[in-house]
Chains A and B, each alone.
Chain A
Amino acid sequence: MTDFLWHEVDEKEKADIQQEAKKIMDDFSKKLSKVSKLKEAEIERPLSERKELENANSLNIDKDIMLKNAPESKNDFIVSEKGEW
């Protein structure tokens, strides 16, 4: 039993949650495996590709906001990974 109010999760709680999640999934899997009438769930699609928009690159993204959202940016670039090359 637990309350569902948000709180920070420490490593110990993460380990407990992981075990609990696995148990829940196992219980669900056990329940479903007992059902004999399950069949393959293929979906037939007439087309496997979709037509791209003509101006597929012009998505009207606000570049200024995008750069402000980034943890680190430099001019027109988001700096996402630094390393010694």
Chain B
Amino acid sequence: MTLKNNLDNIRKHNKDINAILELNPSAVADEKKSKGKLKGKVIAVKANINVNGLKVSCASKVLEDYRGTYDASVIGRIKGEGGIIVGMANMDEFACGSSGETSAFGSVQNPNAKGYVSGGSSSGSAASVAADFCDMALGSDTGGSIRNPASHCGVVGMKPTYSSVSRYGLIDLSMSLDQIGPIAKNVSDCALLLSVIQGFDERDSISHDSPEINLKDVEKIPRDLVLGLLDFEIQDARIQELINEKIETAVKKYGWKVKKVKIPSLDLAIATYYPLVYVEFFSGTRRFDGRRYGKKIDDFAGPEVVRRLLGGSEITKAEHKGRYYHLALKAKKLIADEIAKVFKDVDCIVSPTVPRLPHKIGEEISVEDMYSYDALTIPANLAGNCAISIPAGKVDSIPVGMQIMCDSFEDGKLLQIARSIEKL
């Protein structure tokens, strides 16, 4: 597919899908001079990642006219390898959401399940890939925001190891959890994009070097693998059955072993995650005071952003010391330690990406139920590990994703395992 095909698809279908907020006027010119590892590859960028000259709106009225004044490090790397930025992708407002509904510029339709949410918060990124608006996309993942929409839209999405991809130029949701990552139609393209964007960056204070992704090794089938099948009851058993069937097929074909694994404190993941996010988001958004750019966030944000701001403001008061954030940090360490222990016996942990099918756009749902979408994706963020969602099939004609998680800095191994299962 060429850029022309992608642009034609956008012109025909974006008014219904609403995945792209702004097209890059230089895309056609950029295609002519494209050379490098990403030659000819068309890439959509989540609207919370700075691209010089394009609107970095975070899908919010607060920044609706704000234009990026520099390229994020990942964008510099993409352009350096000939990647063509097609435009800025819609998202949940300031990445606050798991459905793609909270954008100030309209919700994102799921291209592979009409009427249903695309997932979030990287809703437009995943939908753009699913709708052939681009070859690949960048998203950001704090508690599942790449993997969740990848699962709902039937594409591949990966959260790399925390600190392996520079966050310089990412407008943060929660700085101790955020990670930029790739979304693509297949694992090979995900690996390709990750190989370009990962790497040490002095401009990101927590940046780490990580083992280079060997694209040839990703295509090899690993031998003597031990899969850990997560023992955790989910809302929709049909999803688990689909995952179990895939695992059974992989084990038979490749001679892998499988064992059931438990993360004892997994049911604390949501209660751990949200206090951390509320506090870090509140802290990180004090800059949006409308003085140097944009508008004052407290006055122009939608309900979910307001919820996190007011909640974050409340629980950071001195009188609540030790009750919320500090407690959540302790629980974060507990969960991370438990996951590290599991990885002593297995090569990866496999589960559904999301415990239920997506709801319909605009459907009423409790805040607790919305937050519960993240139950299986959050642990990888709390532990800093790498995790990927790949298509596992469909339930009621709606795409369902399988999540594979590996230990920190085993991103290459993760991609190899995912590719092997994808080849089944």
Chain A interface (Cβ < 8 Å from any Cβ of B): 1-9, 13-14, 17-18, 20-22, 24-25, 27-29, 31-33, 35, 37-41, 50-51, 53, 59-63, 65-66, 68-71, 78, 80-81
Contact = CB atoms under 8 A, between A and B. Distances in A.
Contacts of A50: 202, 205
A74 B367 CA distance: 45
B366 A1 contact: yes
B28 interface: no
Contacts of A53: 202-203
A82 to B, nearest CB: 11
A38 B334 contact: yes
A35 B268 contact: yes
A14 B66 contact: no
Nearest to A24: B367
Interface residues of B, number: 63
A78 B330 CA distance: 42
B16 interface: no
B393 interface: no
Given A9-B306, A35-B268, A38-B331, A61 B315 contact: no
A11 B102 CA distance: 19
B302 interface: yes
A50 B310 CA distance: 33
A23 B328 CA distance: 16
B89 interface: no
A65 B53 contact: yes
Contact of B101 (A5, A8, A66): A5
A17 B303 contact: yes
Contacts of B413: none
* B93, B275, B327 — most chain A CB neighbours (10 Å): B327
Contact of A2 (B205, B306, B367): B367
